[in-house]
Structure 1
C-alpha cells in the first residue's frame, strides 16, 4: 500500500532521539540530532543545506506558527496573573477549601476537567495556575505535571466540544465509509475510548495513594517534604521560583479575585464563540487584563507592556523546542516512518485483534513520532476497510484508534502536550515522563485487554 524507500532505517532518527534523551536527560539537543540523522538519510552528503531548508519550511508552516504563538500568548497571560497578584487571590480562595496535599491535586484534577476545550489551554493554564496552590502542600512539581497532563487530552476527547473532537469529526466526515455526519460518528465512539477513561481512573487512585508509588515518585515525595519541589536538573527553575517568591513577598498589589476570574471566563467564552480558536480566546483574555487592571488601578500601562514582553521572553526556549519537534515530525513523514510500521503489522491483524492492535500501533507511532493527528489520519483509511471486511464494530475500532492517539499525546516526551505541561509546571520533559510513563503503560495494558474482551463479544 505504501512505498518503503527507507524501511527499518526510517526508525533510526527516533532511536537516536530516545537514546540521547535518556543519556543526557535533555530534549532539545537530542531532537535536533535526530533531525540531522534523518536529513543525512534523506539527502546524503548534501544534507546540511536541505536540513536548513526543511527548518525554514517548518518555521513558516501555518500550523507550526500557530503552535508557537499559543505559548507566547499564554506566557503574557500567566505573567500578568503573577505581577498583578491575581494568582495569589486565587490561591487564597482555594486554601479556604483545600487543606491537604491530596485535595490540592484533586482540585487540579477537577480544574483540568473544567478546562476541556483544548489540551494546550489545559496544559498552560492549569499548570501555571495550580502550582501556586500545590506548592503550599509540598507537591513535587513533576507530580503536578503528571496530574495536569493526565487531565488534558484524555478529557478533551471524551467531551465532543474540544479541539480534538473538532479535528476527528472532520476526519470522520471526510471518510466514504462513515458517511457525512462526523458528530454522530464521534459521539458513538466515546463509550469505546477506553484508555482516556482508564487514565482518569488511575489518576484519581494515584491522587489518593490507592495505587503503588514508583521508586521515582517516592523519591520525589521525600525530596519535596524536605522543601525542594524540583527534580535534579531543574535548578534554574528553582532559582526562577525563588525570585518570584521574593517578588511576591514585596508585592504590595492588592490580590483581587476578579483579576483572575474575569480573564479566565473571557478566555473560555472567547475560544468557544470564535469556533474553538484558542488564539482569539487568549488575545481576548489579555485584552481583558489590560482593560480591567487599568480600571481598578492594579497595573500601569508601563507595567502592562513590560509584563507582556517578559511573558513572551519566558517562552522562548519552549518555542525553540516546538520548532525542533515539528522539524522531526516532518523528517519522519519524509522517511515514511508511520507507513513502514503500519505495513509491518498489517499482515498479523485478525478481526479479534483489530481493536487491540489498532490501539498499540497508534500508541507506538504517537509515542515515537509525536505526530498524533497525522498518525490517525494515515491509520483511519486502513482500519476502516479492515473493520468492514471483518464485520468488526466500527465505533469500537475508532475508539481504539483515538485511545492510541491519546496515549501518544500523554507520554511522548518531546510531544507538544508534554512540552507545554512541563513548561507551565517548570520541570523538564524527562522528569515529567519518569512519573507518568509507568502509570500510562499500566493504563495501556489494561486498555488492550479490555479491547480484546470487547472484540470477543461485539
Structure 2
C-alpha cells in the first residue's frame, strides 16, 4: 500500500490547477496525509485527520528553523512597505534610468539576473534582493510581474547549487561525507557542477528570454494581458531619495553575509541560512525605519501603521509557506519521498540509472516541495550504486542535485515558489503556471543530457 503515499501531493496539485486555490489545496492534502498516517498507525480517523493536522502545524511552528522562515516571511512585508512608501523605489528607478544602467527591457532583465546571481549565499535572499531591485523597473518597462517571478526563481536555486560556497554546498557535502569513496566528498561535489544539467539549462533559458526578449506559453499571455491594461503604472508616492531603498537593501545584503560568517563560526559555507536571513531582514527593517523617521516624512505611529499594513498584505502568502512546510513534514512521515525513490528499480539498464535518478528526484521534489529533502533521500540511494556498479560519482550526484532543483523550481507547494511570488508581487498560481513550461523544457533537455553522458561515460 506504499503507493497511497503519493495521493496527498497529487490532491494538492490537482486542486491547485482545478480550483485555482492554493491554500485549500494544501489543507486538503495535509488532512489526507494525516488520515493516511492515522490508518497506518491504527488511530482514530477524526483524531488523526483533523486534530492531527492541527498538531502537525503546531509541531512545524515549534521548529526553530521553520519559525525563522515564517518570521522572515512576515517581517519582509514591513521592509517592502517602508521602501515602497518612502518613494525610494521610484527614485532608484529614475537614477538607474538616468545613469543608463537600465535603458531597455534587456538591460533590466540582465540587471535582475545579475543581482540574483551575485547574492548566491541563500536562495530566499537571492529572490528577495533581486525582486526588490527590479519591481519598479519591470513596471516602468511594462514587463509582467510573472516574468519577474520567473527570472528571480530560475536564477536563485540554480546559482546556489552551482556556486556551492553557501549552506547548500555545506549540506550536500555533509551528506556525501558519510560514505567512503575513492574520491573525496569535496572533489565529487565540485565535479558535480559540470553535470548539474538542469541548473545550467535553467539559467541558459532565462538568459535566452532576457537577451532576445522572447516569452512563450502562459507567460506570453500574461505579458499581452499587461499591455492591454491601462498604461498608467501603479501610483505610489512621488520619488524622494534613492537612499531610502538602497541603504536598507545594502544593509540586507551585507549583514546577510556577515551573519552567515558569524553563525558559521567564521566559515561562510557553514552559516545558518534561516538565522542569517531573519537577522538581516530585521536589521534592514530597523535601518529603513530610522531613515524614514529621521527624514521627518513619517511619524513613529505612521511608520508602525505602514509596517503592520505591509505585514498584513503578506499573510496569505505566509499561510501558504506555513502549510507547505507542514505538508512536507507530514509527507516525510508518510514516506512519500521514500516510495518515489524506490521507483528506481534494480533491473534498469546501467545507462538508464542516471537519467532515472534525475526523473525520480524531479518527481519527488515536485510532489513534496523540497529539494533538500530529496537530496537527503536520494544520495543514500545513489552512493551505493556508485560503489556497486562503478558509476561516475560526479555524474550521479549531479543528476540527484538537478532533480531536486527541478521540483524546487516549479512545484506549487514549494516554499521557494511562494517566496519568489512574494518578492515579485505576483500571484503564486500565476507564477507556477507561467514558469512550468520553461521548467518542463529544461527538465526534458536535462534527461537527454544525462542519457548522453551516461552512454559516453559508463
Partner residue of 1:11 out of 3, 6, 26: 6
Conserved 8 A contact 2:340-2:363: no
Partner residue of 1:257 out of 242, 252, 269: 242
The alignment partner of 1:274 has SS state of helix
Matched, 1:191 2:212: no
Partner of 2:15: 20
The alignment partner of 1:413 has SS state of coil
Conserved 8 A contact 1:124-1:421: yes
Q: CA 1:87–1:181 in 2, change beyond 3 Å: closer, same or farther?
A: farther
Partner of 1:392: 391
Matched, 1:155 2:198: no
Partner of 2:346: 347
Measured after TM superposition, the shift of residue 417 of structure 1 is 1.1
TM-score (normalizing by structure 1):
0.88
The alignment partner of 1:177 has SS state of coil
Conserved 8 A contact 1:172-1:180: no
Matched, 1:34 2:34: no
Measured after TM superposition, the shift of residue 185 of structure 1 is 4.0
Output the CA distance in 2 between the equivalents of 1:391 and 1:422: 42
Partner of 2:266: none
- Give the 5 Å matches for 1:430-441: 430-441=429-440
Partner of 2:51: 49
Output the CA distance in 1 between the equivalents of 2:236 and 2:213: 38
Measured after TM superposition, the shift of residue 298 of structure 1 is 5.0
The alignment partner of 2:343 has SS state of helix
Matched, 1:103 2:107: yes
Deviations 1:173-219 (A, max 9, x none): 3x1235997555432322221111111111111223476x4342332
Q: CA 1:186–1:284 in 2, change beyond 3 Å: closer, same or farther?
A: farther
Matched, 1:72 2:67: no
Partner of 1:88: 90
Deviations 1:279-321 (A, max 9, x none): 1222222233234444444544334333332222222112211
Output the CA distance in 2 between the equivalents of 1:60 and 1:310: 26
Conserved 8 A contact 2:120-2:160: yes
Partner of 1:177: 180
Deviations 1:379-408 (A, max 9, x none): 111100101211111111111111111111
**Unaligned 5+ residue runs, structure 2?**
40-44, 261-270
Deviations 1:405-433 (A, max 9, x none): 11111101121111111122232222112
Q: CA 1:228–1:64 in 2, change beyond 3 Å: closer, same or farther?
A: farther
Matched, 1:327 2:331: no
Output the CA distance in 1 between the equivalents of 2:82 and 2:182: 46
Partner of 2:409: 410
Output the CA distance in 2 between the equivalents of 1:247 and 1:264: 19
Q: CA 1:378–1:105 in 2, change beyond 3 Å: closer, same or farther?
A: same
**RMSD across aligned positions (CA):** 2.3
**Unaligned 5+ residue runs, structure 1?**
1-5, 230-240
Partner residue of 1:226 out of 224, 228, 237: 228
Partner of 1:236: none
Q: CA 1:456–1:138 in 2, change beyond 3 Å: closer, same or farther?
A: same
Output the CA distance in 1 between the equivalents of 2:209 and 2:297: 39
Measured after TM superposition, the shift of residue 348 of structure 1 is 4.0
Deviations 1:21-55 (A, max 9, x none): 11111211011011111222221423222222222
Conserved 8 A contact 1:138-1:227: no
